[in-house]
């Protein structure tokens, strides 16, 4: 008999929506518009809607799987249970590499808004090492801190929107006439890059044991949280495009700061910088914890080197995994730019959710909460957006996937030879 106590069902729909917003509205919005504009210009507005649709499909697949497998590990576990060990491994490895790139992107975003010109990379490395040290001692973001960060970020975004929409000197031409200027390939590429800004939406999907009436609450909360997030992102996207124009946006290292400056609200620029820095550090702290724990789960199954499975005797954190992550991310921020980090992150995470959708497709009628069409659309959307990502992101992603698969293949052959 399982003696493990169940989590208390204390959360209602509003609570679940707030947690979802806290997972989605973060540093991504400060970083992803410039790379998306480089791909699609004003067409990034269409890309934003496409990214939201794919995110919704992915979240429903995760919700359906989490209801059947209420355990840690996410799609690493779902893939192993529904499709086999290899798909599970590829999901876990895709998550680890994608979220490692997300760590680099968050560190670079923090530095873009907080560091003096020319000091961005050293400051990014210092941020990584500092937060790795904090996380090493078992300090992660609490739910209360998450709500404070979200409230502050929302206030900052409202400030940017007011500054931009009241600007009397917009640089963007009629946006409605320029949505398709860069063609559908550019729009799909922007959708893949903007998918990065929705990271965290599946947090609601894993709350089946904590919410009241989960079969009703989870689907409703996913829709509400995604719609609110999409509306906020759309307002900011229109504001940035209106004030800066696509051409100036492409070259902007800190576009939301540039919006306040161009709108004549220079006094607000330091507030926006602080908002971006706080959001980036909060996201980076959560990412370090998440990647470390997924690496721990994979190492316990020997899908990663067993050295990574060590847990600190005092602080009870996967300290070897987090040390390795800090070193790798520090190296990444020295050689990669923000667009490359976002593209590579989207590559890994989209493949992760492709396996989630495929896993959900195999569930029988009694296990289903959503129509299969959503999983088909989600899986197809993930593959299309992966294919449309910048070619460098795709090539590097395929090589890193191959390295991981090669490691596992060697390990399996060594085990068979020893047995």
Q: What CATH code is carried by the domain that includes residue 158?
A: 1.20.1740.10
Domain hosting 310: range is: 13-411
**Euclidean distance between CA atoms 45 and 304, whole angstroms:** 39
Do the domain assignments include residue 110?
A: yes
pTM recorded for the entire structure: 0.89
Number of domains in the chain: 1
Q: Is residue 416 situated within a structural domain?
A: no
Please report whether residue 4 resides in a domain: no
* Domain annotation covers residue 5: no
Residue 417 lies in a domain: no
Q: Does a structural domain hold residue 59?
A: yes
- Asked if residue 419 belongs to a domain, the reply is no
Measured CA to CA, the distance from residue 175 to residue 251 in angstroms comes to 18
Full pLDDT tens readout for the chain, 419 residues: 444 455 566 678 888 888 778 778 888 899 999 999 999 999 999 999 999 999 999 988 988 898 888 776 788 989 999 999 999 999 999 999 999 999 999 999 999 999 998 999 999 999 999 988 888 887 666 567 777 888 899 999 999 999 998 876 666 556 666 777 778 999 999 999 999 998 777 777 666 666 787 777 878 888 888 889 999 999 999 999 989 988 899 999 999 999 999 888 999 999 999 999 998 988 888 888 788 888 888 998 889 999 999 988 888 888 899 899 999 999 999 999 999 999 999 999 999 999 999 999 999 998 898 999 999 999 999 999 999 999 999 999 999 999 999 999 999 998 888 76
Assigned domain for 8 exists:
no
């Amino acid at each position: 008999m399982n003696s493990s106590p169940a989590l208390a069902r204390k959360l209602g729909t509003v609570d679940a929506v707030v947690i979802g917003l806290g997972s989605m509205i973060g540093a991504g919005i400060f970083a992803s518009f410039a790379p998306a504009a480089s791909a699609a210009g004003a067409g990034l507005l269409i890309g934003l809607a496409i990214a939201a649709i794919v995110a919704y499909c992915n979240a429903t697949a995760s919700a359906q799987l989490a209801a059947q497998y209420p355990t840690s590990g996410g799609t690493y576990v779902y893939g192993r249970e529904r499709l086999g060990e290899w798909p599970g491994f590829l999901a876990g490895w895709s998550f680890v590499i994608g979220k490692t790139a997300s760590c680099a992107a968050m560190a670079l975003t923090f530095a873009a808004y907080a560091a003096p010109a020319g000091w961005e990379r050293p400051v990014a490395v210092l941020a990584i090492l500092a937060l790795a040290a904090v996380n090493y001692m078992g300090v992660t973001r609490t739910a209360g801190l998450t709500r404070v960060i979200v409230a502050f970020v929302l206030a900052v975004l409202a400030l940017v929107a007011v500054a931009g929409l009241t600007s009397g000197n917009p640089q963007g031409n009629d946006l409605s006439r320029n949505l398709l200027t860069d063609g559908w390939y550019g729009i799909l590429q922007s959708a893949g890059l903007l998918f990065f800004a929705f990271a965290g939406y599946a947090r609601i999907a894993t709350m089946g044991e904590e919410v009241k009436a989960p079969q009703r609450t989870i689907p409703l909360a996913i829709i509400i949280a995604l719609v609110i997030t999409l509306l906020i992102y759309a307002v900011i996207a229109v504001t940035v495009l209106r004030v800066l124009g696509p051409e100036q946006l492409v070259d902007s290292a800190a576009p939301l700061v540039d919006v306040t400056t161009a709108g004549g609200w220079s006094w607000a620029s330091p507030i926006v910088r602080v908002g971006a820095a706080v959001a980036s550090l909060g996201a980076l702290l959560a990412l370090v914890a998440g990647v470390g724990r997924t690496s721990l789960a994979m190492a316990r199954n020997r899908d990663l080197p067993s050295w990574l499975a060590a847990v600190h005797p005092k602080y009870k954190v996967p300290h070897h995994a987090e040390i390795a992550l800090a070193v790798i991310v520090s190296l990444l921020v020295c050689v990669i730019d923000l667009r490359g980090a976002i593209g590579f992150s989207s590559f890994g995470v989209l493949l992760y959710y492709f396996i989630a959708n495929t896993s959900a497709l195999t569930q029988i009628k009694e296990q289903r909460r959503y129509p299969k069409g959503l999983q088909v659309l989600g899986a197809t959307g993930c593959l299309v957006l992966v294919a449309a990502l910048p070619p460098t992101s795709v090539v590097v992603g395929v090589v890193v996937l191959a390295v991981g698969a090669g490691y596992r293949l060697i390990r399996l052959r060594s085990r068979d030879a020893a047995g």
